[in-house]
């Protein structure tokens, strides 16, 4: 059984790697490190299919150390011990270059097992992860490593790799393969920056293209049929999940309905209706808030409708609500106020509740000033009377500050006129 195309045409030099210009263009620090031959401990962080493993293999070929590959999803502590047992033997006289893929699946104890040998230089570690290493990699290993972030490969770079892949398949299969320029664009766009995914699409296109006069023709429509939805990158518990949710809310907060609808579409295409609904309701309260307080029940009604009808129809009420949030005036005054109140509470600023607010109607014999002294606001003009509500330690503290929007300024004017009468 032949290896996948992505493995058969894996680059063997830095020049053949597509993308990652911020790391691998001539003169970049990582290139100079590799060319020096003195390889430090490194962590490669980024999505799958963008060259992390390929670069590690190229680095290994430039060193005199034995290359050992391990994958965090399958390796055990026994596998780590086997690597350690090779040190200072004829099998690995110059030490080991350990490429550990998916290091986030190693638990803390497994990572600690490597620490001593990383520290004394017996093992040089190149680890890769698709998750944020600052959350998933043991701090002591991170402190002894340099993190390099890999980016999704740009469409233009992927297109060149796709074109090259069709050429290699022509040589392997001893036949012509003619891919329409638009088909190359579709594959390059649909892979979402994942070169491995693009190579898989190329191989499928070559297998299913229309044969005419001994030539395999790959049309734009065929490429679309084979790559539809393949650009979706989504992991409900990974970085991509939180990045999309973050972009979704920030786009609504930034009053950009086009961007917000794009991220809503990504959530719904991934089937993540609950996350879309939750973040939409949070944004209505946090970012629109008192500038348009009626939006809260409106968005809640849209979310209830979406959850009741389910996908795909749920997209309609949610789109209505998203556009409404984007186009509404914004205020985070209440959000800031509650956070300030919580901060004071966590700092120990609380104190006894004022006597007039307590749920008591009697006094002990030791109280020299008997009586609750609560003043019922509705018994006074405009249903308001001045009295102390905050504990003594927080007396005169201001948490809520009027927003500049029309609604809150109307409230401010109303209360300013009433309270100055007292």
pLDDT in tens, 65-112: 778 888 888 888 788 888 877 776 776 667 778 888 888 888 888 888
Q: Are residues 165 and 132 in the same domain?
A: no
Instruction: Report the alpha-carbon distance of residue 404 to residue 418 in Å, rounded.
Output: 20
103-119 residue pLDDT tens: 888 888 888 888 877 88
Q: Are residues 202 and 142 in the same domain?
A: no
| Nearest alpha carbon to residue 206 among 241, 178, 231 | 178
- Please report whether residue 70 resides in a domain: yes
Q: Are residues 350 and 414 in the same domain?
A: yes
Lowest mean pLDDT across 59-63, 234-238, 249-253, 310-314: 234-238
Number of domains composing the chain = 4
The token pair that represents 25 in the structure block: 């263009």
Instruction: Report the alpha-carbon distance of residue 44 to residue 69 in Å, rounded.
Output: 15
Is pTM beyond 0.85? Reply is no
Q: Are residues 346 and 322 in the same domain?
A: no
- What is the DSSP code (8-state) at residue 87? B
Instruction: Report the alpha-carbon distance of residue 259 to residue 156 in Å, rounded.
Output: 23
Asked if the model's pLDDT at residue 252 lies above 50, the reply is yes
Q: Are residues 142 and 31 in the same domain?
A: yes
Q: Are residues 74 and 130 in the same domain?
A: yes
Report the CATH number at residue 383.
1.10.3710.10
Q: How confident is the model at residue 1 (pLDDT cuts 50, 70, 90)?
A: very low
Report the CATH number at residue 217.
1.10.8.60
Which is more confident, 61 or 276?
A: 276
DSSP for 335-354, written as a single string: HHHHHHHHHHHHTT---PPP
Residue span of the structural domain in which 341 resides: 333-419
Q: What's the pLDDT score for residue 233?
A: 54
Q: Are residues 356 and 285 in the same domain?
A: no
Query: For a pLDDT cut of 90, what percent of the chain falls above it?
Result: 24
The token pair that represents 279 in the structure block: 């973040």
Mean pLDDT over all residues of the chain?
Answer: 84
143-166 residue pLDDT tens: 888 888 888 888 888 888 888 888
């Amino acid at each position: 059984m032949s290896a996948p195309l992505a493995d058969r045409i894996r680059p063997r030099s830095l020049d053949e790697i597509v993308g990652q210009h911020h790391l691998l263009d001539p003169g970049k620090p990582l290139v100079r490190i590799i060319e020096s031959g003195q390889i430090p401990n490194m962590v490669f962080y980024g999505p799958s299919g963008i060259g992390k493993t390929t670069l590690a293999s190229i680095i290994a070929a430039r060193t005199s150390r034995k290359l050992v590959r391990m994958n965090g999803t399958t390796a055990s502590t026994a596998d780590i011990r086997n690597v350690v047992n090779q040190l200072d033997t004829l099998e690995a006289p110059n030490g080991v270059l350990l490429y550990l893929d998916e290091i986030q699946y190693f638990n803390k104890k497994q990572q600690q097992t490597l620490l001593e040998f990383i520290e004394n230089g017996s093992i040089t570690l190149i680890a890769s992860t698709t998750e944020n290493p600052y959350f998933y990699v043991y701090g002591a290993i991170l402190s002894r490593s340099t993190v390099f972030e890999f980016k999704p490969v740009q469409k233009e770079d992927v297109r060149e790799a796709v074109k090259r892949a069709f050429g290699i398949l022509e040589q392997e299969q001893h036949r012509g393969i003619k891919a329409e320029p638009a088909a190359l664009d579709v594959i390059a766009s649909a892979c979402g920056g994942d070169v491995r995914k693009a190579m898989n699409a190329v191989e499928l296109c070559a297998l299913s293209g229309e044969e005419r006069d001994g030539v395999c023709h790959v049309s734009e429509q065929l490429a679309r049929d084979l790559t539809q939805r393949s650009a979706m990158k989504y992991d409900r518990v990974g970085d991509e999940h939180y990045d999309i949710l973050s972009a979704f809310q920030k786009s609504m907060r930034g009053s950009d309905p086009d961007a917000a609808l794009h991220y809503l579409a990504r959530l719904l295409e991934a089937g993540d209706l609950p996350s879309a609904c939750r973040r939409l309701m949070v944004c209505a309260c946090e970012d629109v808030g008192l500038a348009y307080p009626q939006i809260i029940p409106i968005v809640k009604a849209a979310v209830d409708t979406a959850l009741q009808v389910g996908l795909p129809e749920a997209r309609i009420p949610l789109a209505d609500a998203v556009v409404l949030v984007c186009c509404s005036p914004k205020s985070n005054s209440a959000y800031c106020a509650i956070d300030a109140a919580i901060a004071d509470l966590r700092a120990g600023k609380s104190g006894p509740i004022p006597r007039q607010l307590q749920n008591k109607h009697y006094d002990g014999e030791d109280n020299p000033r008997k009586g609750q002294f609560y003043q019922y606001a509705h018994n006074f003009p405009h249903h308001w009377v001045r009295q102390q509500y905050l504990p003594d330690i927080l007396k005169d503290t201001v948490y809520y500050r009027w927003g500049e929007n029309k609604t809150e300024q109307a409230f401010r004017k109303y209360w300013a006129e009433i309270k100055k009468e007292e």
